[in-house]
Amino acid sequence: MLSLDFICQYPQVVREALRRRHEAHNIDEVLRLAEQRRGLATRNDGLYTSLKGLRAGARNAPAENRPGLNKQIKAIMQDIRQLELQIADVDTRLQLLLMTIPNLPQHQVQDDADIELRRWGEAATFHFTPLAHWELGERLGILDATSAAQIAGSRFMTLKGYGAKLERALISFFLDIHTREFGYTEIIPPFLTRRAAMLGAGQLPKFEEQAYACSMDELYLNPTAEVPLVGMHIDSILNKEELPLRYAAWTTAFRREAGSASRHQRGLLRLHQFDKVELFQVTPPTQSYAIHEQMLLHAETPLRLLELPYRVVDLCAANLPFSASRTFDIEVWLPSLQEYIEVSSVSNCEGFQANRANIKYRPRNGARAEYVHTLNASGLAVGRTMAAILEVYQQADGSVVVPKVLRPYMRTSLIPPAR
C-alpha cells in the first residue's frame, strides 16, 4: 500500500505511475479526504487546547463560576466527540481508497511493451503429429476431466496413476532444489487464510470476486502461498540479523479465474485448483533488487534441469501484478499452442505488502523500525510444468519419457503408452 503521506507529497508521481499502469484511479478523492482530515484534526487539536485551559481555570475558579465553566467544558467535549467520529469516518474512507491503489512501477520498467530478456533451450521438433497434453493425458489415463467435472464442475482435474505420481514428483523435486541448493526453509502453511492476510498480500479488495470465501468462518481458500507467507509476519518487527527470510512453500491454490482467455482453458493450463511451490523472501530494502535477480535464477533452475525450453520476459508497467514494482515472467514452451506460457512470475513488491501488513525491521539496535521489502516467485507452477513435460517428452507410440531428474522420484523412466 502506498502511504498517504507519499501520495500527498508527490501526487504527480503517483498520477504518472497510474497512467503508466493504464489504471483509471483518480487520486483527487484521496487528496480531498486527506485535506478534510487535516482540517478536522486541526480543529480537534484546538478544542483540546481550549479544554485543557478551561479545566485548569475551573479548578481555580470561585465556586459560583464553576457551573458556567463546566457547561463550557461539557459542550467542548461534545464537539470533540463529534469531530473524532468524523475523523474516524474519513479514515475509513481513506483506507478503503488506499487499498485499491496498485504499487508504483520501478523507473526501469517499460510503459507499454514487455521485453524478452533471454531464451533457453530449443523448441522440440517431432517426426509425428504431437498431441496436446489434455489429449495425451486422456489417452494415457492420467488426466481425467470428466470425473473432476462430476465432482466439482468445470476446470478441475482428477490425476490418476502416473499423473498423480508426476504431480507428487514435481512438488518434491522443486522443494528439494530450493531447500538444498538455495537455502530456502520449507513451509507447508494452512490452506485457509484470514482476511487480514489477503489484504496484506494485496489480494483484496481487488480480487475479491476471484477468491473462494468461507463466509461463516471469515476465511478464504488460499489463492497462492504468497498470502499465508505474508500472513506469518503481520504486525511484526524483525531484527536485521534475521533477514533475509527465505521460504519455499508448497500449497494447493484456489482461484475462480473468471474471464480468462478460452485458448488457455484446456487441460492443466488454467484450473480453479492447482498445486504450486512458491518462493518468498523478506529482505532489507537495500538488498531486494539484487535478490530479485537471484530469485529469477532460482526459479529458472528447475526448468533447466528438466530440459524444458523457456524464455524470460521483463513485464511492462501495464502488465505488472497489482502488488509488484517489477516482475519477470518465466514462460515455458508449449508445442500444442506453439507459444510460451507463463510458469512463474518473479516479483519485487518493495515495501508495498509490508506497509499493508505492517511488517518492519530494525536496521540496528535502538533504531526506528522501517518497512521491509517482500519478493515472491513461483518455483514453479506444477500443473503447467506437467503440461510442458507431457507435450515436450511425448513419443510416437503415445508414451512419455520421464525427464532424467524426475526418475528417482517416479521410479520409472517411461510413462507407458495406453493399451
**Sequence ranges of the binding site for L-serine:** 224-226, 255, 278, 376, 378
β strands within 174-254, DSSP E: 185-187, 192-194, 213-214, 219-221, 236-239, 245-254
Catalytic residue among 21, 37, 155, 270: 270
Q: In 10 A of CB 223, how many CB atoms?
A: 22
Does residue 255 have an active-site annotation?
Answer: yes
271 neighbors 157 (Cβ within 8 angstroms):
yes
Is 236 catalytic? The answer is no
* Rounded Cα–Cα distance for residues 119 and 306 (Å): 15
Instruction: Give the residue numbers of the binding site.
Output: 224-226, 255-257, 278, 342-345, 376, 378
Count Cα neighbours of 183 within 13 Å in the Cβ-side half-sphere.
7
Asked if residues 307 and 121 have their Cβ atoms less than 8 Å apart, the reply is yes
**Is 78 exposed, middle or buried (CB count within 10 Å of its CB: 0-12, 13-18, 19+)?**
exposed
Buried b or exposed e, range 303-330, using 16+ CB within 10 angstroms: beebebbbbbbbbbbbbbbbbbbbbbbb
Point out the catalytic residue in the list 20, 255, 326, 356: 255
Nearest alpha-carbon partner for 164 in 383, 345, 403: 383
Which among 288, 325, 336, 345 is annotated as catalytic?
345
- Of residues 342, 370, 399, 407, which has the active-site annotation? 342
Q: Which of 155, 326, 356, 384 is catalytic?
A: 384
Q: Is 270 a catalytic residue?
A: yes
- Lookup: cell for 396: 510416437
Catalytic residue flag (residue 342): yes
> Annotated catalytic, 345?
yes
Instruction: Give the active site residues.
Output: 255, 270, 342, 345, 384
